[in-house]
Amino acid sequence: MKRSSSLHSPTFSPLYRQIKELIMGNLESGEWGPGDPIPSESELASRFGVSQGTVRKAIDEMAAENLLVRQQGKGTFVATHKDPGSAFRFLRLVPNDGVLRVSRSIPLECWRAKAGPDVARTLALEPGAPITIVRRLLKLGDEPVVFDEIYLSSELFPDLSLEVLGTGESLYGLFEARYGVCMVRADERLRAVSADRVSADLLQVAEGSPLLLVERVTFTFGQRPVEWRRGFYSTRNHHYRNQLG
């Protein structure tokens, strides 16, 4: 293993980061799928021709980014949305009273369309490319709290349909299991808006009442955008929780 550029070069990246990229490559290619254990640190060290400590530092960073999960005495595993612990990693909505409730995803509609200019741009597709649009309702306990409209490339999620979506399972768990697309990072933009007729009915609030609009672009490995989502959150009995460090 040699560094790919001079130490003085602006494109210099330290050895552990190059190792990280190699490991990332194996995740992207699907060689190590979600939930799988990756080889041991020393195994990777000898495979890449670096010391175990260097591999460790690479894995440390990836674990901090929730791409890998360390388990002492067992090994290091590729993060998965099927894991109950990280199943709702991206849902920041919590009930005001703090009481946990069962969550249920209720698919409402699912149809095909052609990407308009805005969808094409955010998903890095050609304008006019085939996309699939999903509408679904998320319930926490008995209360409907989120109405989502989700835009996906039909090429990545070929046979997506209401039947496939079923009822209940975590969406990202499904995407991962069925299409091998692992959601890794997301950018969200939050606004306060007035409920239109459709959202108001679904969320059982008065038309015109304030809702939290959450626009999310979700990325898989390599900063590749694969999902665009507009969610209307009812914040009557819930709130969006955020920690600033």
Of 218, 243, 241, nearest in space to 230 by CA = 218
Beta carbon nearer to DNA, 26 or 235 = 26
Judged by beta carbon distances under 5 to 8 A according to partner kind, the member of DNA, a second copy, none in contact with residue 189 is a second copy
Binding residue for DNA, selected from 76, 80, 154, 220, defined by CB under 7 A: 76
Judged by beta carbon distances under 5 to 8 A according to partner kind, the member of DNA, a second copy, none in contact with residue 141 is none
Judged by beta carbon distances under 5 to 8 A according to partner kind, the member of a second copy, DNA, none in contact with residue 191 is a second copy
Beta carbon nearer to a second copy, 158 or 210 = 210
Binding residue for DNA, selected from 70, 112, 121, 178, defined by CB under 7 A: 70
What does the block give as tokens for 124?
A: 């890095």
* Helices 41-48 and 15-28, axial angle in degrees (round to 10): 110
Q: Residue 222 interacts with a second copy (CB under 8 A)?
A: no
Binding residue for a second copy, selected from 24, 133, 162, 190, defined by CB under 8 A: 190
The residue to which tokens 């499904």 are assigned = 174
Residue 118 parent element (H or E): helix 117-123
Judged by beta carbon distances under 5 to 8 A according to partner kind, the member of DNA, a second copy, none in contact with residue 75 is DNA
Instruction: Give 113's contacts (C-beta < 8 A, 6+ positions apart).
Output: 130, 131, 132, 133
Q: Residue 101 interacts with a second copy (CB under 8 A)?
A: no
Binding residue for DNA, selected from 4, 42, 96, 194, defined by CB under 7 A: 42
CB of 85 to a second copy, least distance (A): 15
Angle (CA) 119 87 26, round 5°? 70
Judge contact between 183 and 226, C-beta under 8 A.
Answer: yes
Three-class SS string for 5-19? CCCCCCCCCCHHHHH
Residue 232 parent element (H or E): strand 224-233
Judge contact between 146 and 233, C-beta under 8 A.
Answer: yes
Beta carbon nearer to DNA, 11 or 242 = 11
Judge contact between 233 and 39, C-beta under 8 A.
Answer: no
x/- map, 49-88, a second copy, by CB under 8 A:
---------------xxx----------------------
Beta carbon nearer to a second copy, 42 or 237 = 237
Q: What is the CA radius of gyration of the chain?
A: 20
List interacting residues with DNA (CB under 7 A): 1, 3, 6-8, 14-18, 38, 40-43, 50-54, 56-57, 70-76
List interacting residues with a second copy (CB under 8 A): 64-66, 89-90, 92, 185-194, 209-213, 215-216, 233, 235, 239-245
